[in-house]
A and B are shown apart, each in its own frame.
Chain A
Amino acid sequence: MSNLGTAGAKRSATHLLKANAWFVFAFLYVPIVVLVVFSFNDSERVNVWQGLSARWYGEALGNTQVISALRVSLIVAISSTIVSTVLGTAVALALDRYRFKGRRALDGTVYLPIVIPDITMAVMLLVFFAEAFKLIDTFGPRLTLGVTTVALSHIAFNISFVAVVVRARLDQFDRTLEEAARDLYATPWRTFRRVTLPLIAPGIAAGALLALTLSLDDVVISAFTAGPGATTLPVYVFSTIRQGVTPELNAISTLMLAASITLVVASLALQRPRSTTP
């Protein structure tokens, strides 16, 4: 192949890649645009357009059940993300770096929460909590399902997702840097904090982001492990569509979208001064 031909082929390949990228973004965003547009629908039914109105935003914000569900969702999502990110990262590090008793068993187990059907995980956690509470009941405190059990359940599946993502990052990590640090008599903790952690930080961030997303979207497990007053937003939405989808649900979604975009933009802006890419 001549040099000229290669350059041409390369250019057209780049164009194709670019076209594909646009296509993917369009694919991802068209439904989101529809979702946002219909949140301004005046109609009681989401897919029957009856004119422009912001009334569903008022209804959503004035609906105490929605606000309470949102509160529960945020508590669960944030707490489960924090705990599962710490535990999941530790598990990934241990599996990648160390040999210890039970390593193989842990290696096999850590994938299972990802592959198990949601509904199975939901039912087994309900059974587990029920039995555990009966056991604990005999010692005194009477425990019941609530926000805590939902959060505990979310951590159980999120640990796995975080561990898998972080491990992918660790997988081809350049160890010479760590060795260099150790040769310079840095303590293990110092090596970890100054060398390892910054290098795997993108993996941890991706894992945490995934955990947050999964927690905010889970319906089945939350529905089974929640008790009185612990309805999460997705559960509320899922239960409500039985009675028809109103634009109120779109309005809630749009508000959540706006909130998370604001958060991300803010955090990106905060990161910028330090972001000298390795």
Chain B
Amino acid sequence: MSSLRRAKPAAAQSTDAGPDTPPSLTPAELAAQRRKRRTGTLIATPGALYLLIFFVVPLGLITVYSFATRTSTGRTSLSGWNLNSYERIADDVILGIIARSAWLAFLTTVLCLLVAYPFAYYLATRPARLRARLLVLVMIPFWTNGLVRIFAIRFLLGSNGPASALSEAMGFGTFRILFTPTAVVLGMVYGFLTFMVLPLYVALERMDWRLVEAARDLYASGAKAFWRVTVPLTRSGIVAGCVLVFVPSFGSYVVPEILGGAKTLLIGSYVARQFQAARNWPLGAALSVLVIVAMLVAVAINQRNSANAERTQGVTR
């Protein structure tokens, strides 16, 4: 990763927000820069230290576990290091589980984006005071207990529930969405929609609308102005929203089990099973490490891409 970075210094620099060191500086400027560096360290330290102790060190522990062995009672024996858990992941069954989970997470993300973008657009174009209230209105449902909420959705989708009754009354006959993949996607869209709305809203709200007006003045149609100006300008929001939805949908297991009927195993359930019922911590740890590595790679690629995009388009700054 770092060698790639070095190969494209311009890309790397434009993402780093801090000032780069120009070739020559006056002593005063140098001193100011040292001071700034000290301030940065000072501000970052408490949070960084916290993450180091309560996240990085535990992550290191679990990474060590991924190379360990499960005893017959399901304890993790920290001797006899091996790669067995990683080899297991190449198993067709596990790859199938990963592929299915990714597909459902992808569907969820696309649906969320399609619904949330116009929604966020609508919110962002309201008068400021109304905006704040509408935003709170979006958050309120999530101050109820998540599980109880899922059970309410479950009731709605049940074969004797109102959704089915409505369809029967309208002459479509009874149906059951509950315990199907459709119910899983619906439940996940419900659960993660706000994660898409919030970043999109933030991006749209602070967007410079004059650029859209300028495009319209140059005789671009509404659609053209939208695709050529609005969407690129809100790219960071779209990416953030997609990540915030895709990641938890991929690992989600409560929704799939309660609404989906657990008939097809998803990766979230599978990992949870390794840490609980199966007590195969090394395998659970290996799968988790893999998820993290995949995410790090994705973040790195995204950073490079957005750096390139910013350089070529030059509109976002």
Chain A positions near chain B (C-beta within 8 angstroms):
1, 6, 9-10, 13, 16-18, 20-21, 23-25, 27-32, 34-35, 38, 46-47, 87-88, 90-91, 93-103, 106, 108-125, 127-128, 131, 152-153, 155-156, 159-160, 163-165, 168-169, 171-172, 188, 203, 206, 209-210, 213, 216-217, 219-220, 233-234, 237-238, 241, 245, 249-250, 252-254, 256-257, 260-261, 264, 268, 275, 277
Contacts and interface: CB of A to CB of B under 8 A. Distances in A.
Given A117-B271, A233-B145, A253-B144, 13 more contacts: A27-B193, A46-B151, A87-B50, A98-B39, A127-B58, A128-B58, A172-B206, A172-B317, A188-B39, A219-B254, A234-B147, A260-B140, A268-B136
18 contacts: A24-B115, A31-B141, A90-B43, A91-B48, A98-B37, A98-B43, A99-B16, A99-B19, A99-B40, A112-B59, A116-B59, A120-B288, A123-B285, A124-B62, A155-B50, A159-B47, A206-B198, A245-B151
Contacts of B284: 119-120, 123
A214 to B, nearest CB: 9
A21 B122 contact: yes
B143 A256 contact: yes
A269 to B, nearest CB: 12
Interface string B110-129: 00000110110111010011
A50 to B, nearest CB: 14
A274 to B, nearest CB: 12
B244 interface: yes
B51 A20 contact: no
Interface string B53-85: 011111101100100000000000000000000
A250 B193 CA distance: 22
Contacts of A24: 115-116, 119, 193
A123 B283 CA distance: 13
Contacts of A99: 16, 18-19, 36-37, 40
Nearest to A249: B148
Contact of B122 (A17, A32, A165, A217): A17
A171 B62 contact: no
Given A20-B115, A119-B272, A163-B47, A216 B18 contact: no
B175 interface: no
B64 to A, nearest CB: 9
Given A120-B62, A124-B59, A25 B149 contact: no
Interface in B141-181: 141-149, 151-156, 158
Contact of A27 (B43, B137, B190): B190
Contact of B40 (A88, A103, A156, A210): A103
B291 interface: yes
A28 B193 contact: yes
A16 B118 contact: yes
Interface string B211-231: 000000000011000000000
B155 A34 contact: yes
Contacts of A264: 136, 140
Contact of A97 (B40, B115, B123): B40
Contact of B271 (A120, A125, A268): A120
A237 to B, nearest CB: 5
A115 B55 CA distance: 12
A275 B129 CA distance: 8
A17 B295 contact: no
A171 B310 CA distance: 13
A113 B284 CA distance: 17
B268 A117 contact: yes
B35 to A, nearest CB: 9
Contacts of A96: 17
Nearest to A46: B151
Nearest to A171: B236
B55 A109 contact: yes
Contact of A91 (B44, B152, B285): B44
Contact of A237 (B55, B58, B143, B145): B145
B240 A164 contact: yes
A145 B107 CA distance: 39
Contacts of A29: 141
Contacts of A155: 50, 54
Given A31-B141, A98-B39, A168-B199, A110 B51 contact: yes
A245 B148 CA distance: 8
Q: Which 3 A-B pairs have the closest CB atoms?
A: A98-B40, A94-B44, A99-B18
Contact of A31 (B118, B143, B153, B222): B153
B219 to A, nearest CB: 9
Contacts of A275: 129, 132
A217 B44 contact: no
Nearest to A102: B48
B60 to A, nearest CB: 9
Interface in B272-287: 272, 275-276, 281, 284-285
Given A91-B48, A98-B18, A128-B54, A115 B222 contact: no
A17 B295 CA distance: 34
A23 B288 CA distance: 37
A164 B143 CA distance: 21
Contact of B51 (A100, A159, A257): A159
Given A9-B222, A90-B43, A31 B190 contact: yes
